[in-house]
Amino acid sequence: MHQVPFHRPCLGPDEEREVIEVLRSGWITTGPKAKRFEQEFAAYVGARYAVAVAHCTGALHLALYALGIGAGDEVITTPFTFTATAEAVAYLGARPVFVDLEPEGLNLDPAKVEELLQSGRLSRPRVLLPVHFAGQGCDMNRLLAIARRHGLKVVEDAAHAAGSAIRLDGRAMVKVGAIGDLSCFSFYATKNITTAEGGMVTTEDDALAHKIAVASLHGMNRDAWKRYDATGSWYYEIDELGFKYNLSDVHAAIGLAQLKRADEFQRRRAQIARAYNDAFAAQMALQTPRARADVEHAWHLYVLRLRSERLRIGRDAVVELLRRRGVGVSVHCIPLHLMRVYQVKYGYRPGDFPVAEDAYSRCLSLPIYPAMSERDVEYVIDTVLATVREHLN
């Protein structure tokens, strides 16, 4: 039987060459490769500053920390995300305030955010933290306007969105990373570009970039990584306590090679998404994801929704059948308000966010990555269509 794993990273001779160069250089932790990765990533998204970190979870933590978020503050975000988004808020003693989604793209619904802010139910809203779900940009024109009106900072969780872009009012397409106050990226193994584990914060703000860079390595001054080098000094000062979130040169080296292929990866993802959408369009039991006209979708995930009323079996059974037939599928996301810790700690309950719950009950993610062959794509299409046809009402 043909097998298509849910994900396989696209790594080749360029990544190997970059990593070997680091291993032989005598300097394997944060150093020149990490610095170059920051510069090249900043140029890629069109941001003034980029700070490389160990993961997106750390990026989010540092971004909120740099904005001075602390106990009693409220951070407005989506429940339809990975736990890291809200976890970073909780690290600082602040409260993640979830708002439901717009039903098409499954991103934060700006109208519901505005309604909450006007309701008087919040006591200290400080940050709007949208997640560009699956790689499709949120409606940033409306979210930025709302944030401005209510004095909120905007931190974007761009874990899914390296390479995606949004048409801002009166401007050309702007890449995610050059839009809000701070954007946080992930280079986890499955992400659009990977460093195995890694992350990045981008910003236009000099002071925030500096604060994040210093805090990412124990609060030591910026060039402390050179302290074992003839060009550096053994002395460093600590003005504020920091964290251990620096990215090693071994990881950054992989990122440098991946970044060179980012546009090619992006084209292949979009091509696979188009092939899926074309193949599934006529099957009424399937709801395909649509890219809005005002965005460039990064297609980190291809999230299909079942039209449950047309099928005799539910999502879990479809996932199980596809897996048994060799198609690696997954489910994104399990809404956070359905998870025990968010219920116990913050009082969320099933039923709080009906759009997120409806999406969760019907969604599954198909394999989508540049290492897929044409045969892999065809196999996924044929297997999904056959499985659905066998169980139509």
Ligand X SMILES: Cc1ncc(COP(=O)(O)O)c(C=O)c1O
Q: Report the residue from 67, 106, 131, 363 that binds ligand X according to the rule CB under 6 A.
A: 131
User: How is residue 138 annotated by DSSP?
Assistant: P
Complex with ligand X: residue 133 or 265, whichever CB lies closer? 133
Q: Does 225 bind ligand X (CB under 6 A)?
A: no
Q: Report the residue from 30, 77, 85, 136 that binds ligand X according to the rule CB under 6 A.
A: 85
Three-point CA angle 359, 364, 300, nearest 5°: 100
Q: Report the residue from 30, 136, 183, 186 that binds ligand X according to the rule CB under 6 A.
A: 186
**Nearest distance from C-beta of residue 21 to ligand X, angstroms:** 24
Strands (DSSP E) found in the chain = 49-53, 74-77, 95-98, 125-129, 153-157, 165-167, 173-175, 182-186, 199-203, 286-287, 295-296, 302-306, 363-366
Q: Does 363 bind ligand X (CB under 6 A)?
A: no
**Nearest distance from C-beta of residue 205 to ligand X, angstroms:** 21
Q: Does 256 bind ligand X (CB under 6 A)?
A: no
Count of positions on this chain that bind ligand X (CB under 6 A): 14
**Nearest distance from C-beta of residue 46 to ligand X, angstroms:** 21
Complex with ligand X: residue 78 or 387, whichever CB lies closer? 78
**Nearest distance from C-beta of residue 303 to ligand X, angstroms:** 12
Q: Does 125 bind ligand X (CB under 6 A)?
A: no
Complex with ligand X: residue 109 or 387, whichever CB lies closer? 109
Q: Report the residue from 37, 41, 52, 55 that binds ligand X according to the rule CB under 6 A.
A: 55
Q: Does 45 bind ligand X (CB under 6 A)?
A: no
**CA atoms of 343 and 213, how far apart (whole Å):** 34
Contact pattern from residue 135 through residue 174 relative to ligand X, giving x for each residue in contact according to CB under 6 A and a dash for the rest: ----------------------x-xx--------------
Complex with ligand X: residue 299 or 379, whichever CB lies closer? 299
CB environment 190-213: b (16+ within 10 A), e (fewer): bbbbbbbbbbbbbbeeeebbebbb
Helix, strand, or coil (residue 298): coil
Contact pattern from residue 195 through residue 214 relative to ligand X, giving x for each residue in contact according to CB under 6 A and a dash for the rest: ----x---------------
Name the nearest CA neighbour of 173 among 293, 279, 327.
Answer: 293
Complex with ligand X: residue 56 or 252, whichever CB lies closer? 56
Complex with ligand X: residue 82 or 353, whichever CB lies closer? 82
**How many CB atoms are located within 10 Å of the residue 172 CB?**
7
Query: What is the set of active-site residues?
Result: 191
Complex with ligand X: residue 159 or 372, whichever CB lies closer? 159
Determine which helix (DSSP H) or strand (DSSP E) holds 46, and give its type and residue range. Answer: none
> Helices 56-66 and 83-91: crossing angle, nearest 10°?
40
Q: Are 331 and 378 in contact (CB under 8 A)?
A: no
Q: Tokens 């056959």 belong to which residue?
A: 386
The values of phi and psi at residue 363, to 5°, are -100, 150
**Nearest distance from C-beta of residue 150 to ligand X, angstroms:** 23
Strands (DSSP E) found in 158-315 = 165-167, 173-175, 182-186, 199-203, 286-287, 295-296, 302-306
Q: What is the CA radius of gyration of the chain?
A: 21
Q: Does 335 bind ligand X (CB under 6 A)?
A: no
Helix, strand, or coil (residue 364): strand
**CA atoms of 272 and 276, how far apart (whole Å):** 6
Complex with ligand X: residue 192 or 203, whichever CB lies closer? 192
**CA atoms of 355 and 104, how far apart (whole Å):** 10
Which residues 6+ apart lie within 8 Å of 262 measured at CB? 44, 162, 163, 192, 193
Q: Does 57 bind ligand X (CB under 6 A)?
A: yes
Q: Does 325 bind ligand X (CB under 6 A)?
A: no
**How many CB atoms are located within 10 Å of the residue 95 CB?**
20
Q: Does 273 bind ligand X (CB under 6 A)?
A: no
**Nearest distance from C-beta of residue 157 to ligand X, angstroms:** 5
Q: Does 82 bind ligand X (CB under 6 A)?
A: yes
Q: Does 81 bind ligand X (CB under 6 A)?
A: yes
Q: Does 216 bind ligand X (CB under 6 A)?
A: no
Two structure tokens written together for 254: 């992989």
Binding site for ligand X (CB under 6 A): 55-57, 81-82, 84-85, 131, 157, 159-160, 186, 188, 199
